[in-house]
Structure 1
Amino acid sequence: MGVFEQGPDSAQYVLTLDCSDCPGIVNQLSGVLLGQGADIIELRQFSDRLHLRPVPGQQEPDGHFFMRLHFAAPAGEAALGALRAGIHEVAALHGMRWELRPHGAKRRVLIMVSKFGHCLNDLLFRTRTGELPVDVVAVVSNHPDHQRLAEWHGIPFHHVPVTPESKPAAEARLLELVDAYDVELVVLARYMQVLSDGLTRKLEGRAINIHHSFLPAFKGAKPYHQAYARGVKTVGATAHYVNSELDEGPIISQQVIEVDHTFGPEDLVAAGRDTECKALSNAVRWHCEGRVVVQGNRTIVLR
């Protein structure tokens, strides 16, 4: 990796990829970048080959390879097209999943919230100060409580009530908003409604939830009360991708805080708020920076 002084004729990009592991992948991609006059700024890679135990009598497992490349390259549509063509050629050889985005590009985010507003407030503050590479395009809630907060930040607020009878219509309305705002990521910031299987399938890979528990423990409702009943010595929060299994999606970020026997259920709720905010903001930032790769029911976070 060299020292690159970016000028008006250069641009920065982030390439995130994964594929079956084999020798030469990094060399081939580095050759593409070198051939296009690019310079690597940061590289993170991981292979799970060493973590896979070979079965006696069978071929040694190949494992899986993950990489995130932050690099600078000549700017312009022609240069970008040649760069993509070179990456595509290597990707085709290895069956890669890959994504190339401009470094620092803001993703269009829709936040969903119910009555607890601490995670919403934290995300909006971090967005306003530039800590998160996101553009919050709308806030959706099944309660009207946080309308003034959203509008103070200059963000459209949509009140979409949910009852057992209106749930299908409410979810259809949500999808309309996702399409209308060209949303890239939906963030459930203590949105206390269970999404239907149909909706989770449509949002797969682009919806992040914060669960106020250190999953896989204490799933479902009132996890802090469950934790109190078990006399836990730590409480935490888990940010994960949403899937059709309640609180079972691939985990992105977790935070914990120590507690003791003097903490009642409400004390645990109060202690857990900071962990919820931090776990969720980390997950949103890592996703939007192209640092998260999903493999099955787990994630690799390249940071």
Structure 2
Amino acid sequence: MLQGAFRVGEGLRRGLVTLPMPGCGSRATFRPAGSEGIDIIAPGRSEASVQKVRRAVAEGLSRWGGTVSGGELGICGGVPAGRGMGSSTSEVVAVLRAVAAAFGVQPSGKELAAATARSESASDPLMLDLARGTPLFDPVSCRVLAALDLPLPALEVVGFDPGGPEVPTDKLGRAEYSSAELKALDGLFQSLWRAVRSGDPRGLGRVATGSARINQRFLYRSELEEVISLAEGFGAVGVAVAHSGTVAGVLFDASEPAGRDGSDAVAGRLSDFGGEVFRFETGDVSGENLGELG
């Protein structure tokens, strides 16, 4: 939704506000064992993903497992890797929750964030209760830099993935913003806060579009301006992109019944870009089965 560097407090901090995608997260189970060693059952996962899962199990055991240092972890489901949909964080959070549950623990979002930060190099705020608040989240430290006790206004999202090679998120270079971009990002952050406070999907959509355009210098998308024009032509409120992946989404005000015709038309047109078209609404983000778009 929004990603960049922001003047928070006395300094400049890297942060993001995510667009949660219900119903697409990973699922994990953990069975403690009396012996040492961690067995991972993760069909279809890459070796890098398996090693990250193994680190998350070890981190969970160190926090909640007492003297137990081994067990069997099974993980399935989730979202495609390398598309900017929070697949890595979804896996790590599912693993941490499974390990904690095996010992009768229900960790807070803050505890999960701290454990996630020790399990992967950069994360999304999928461990937090996004149904109750909107955080500006530092993806490296996994700390909340600022927050409102209100969720994002409900959006209908027509997402699409034009395909292409996976984006290796952990190998992307650090974005260095110009002074003009930093000023624009501060303005977008203030606009997002106003949109959340007032429940304004159109204001939110303008923020997403602005952030997508700034990100072009760091991860270029040849189709972006065409998609923005398409969105404007069918009454959408904006366009969100994964700032470190291939997926994007056209955003509609979920409270406007007339928006359904526009979203249907956009879904048909987005198929022209190739790849997969998918749809979801952001209203139900209270569960644990979350991914993200942007």
Structure whose CA Rg is larger: 1
Which protein has greater RCO, CA pairs closer than 8 Å, 6+ apart? 2
TM-score (norm. length: structure 2)? 0.32
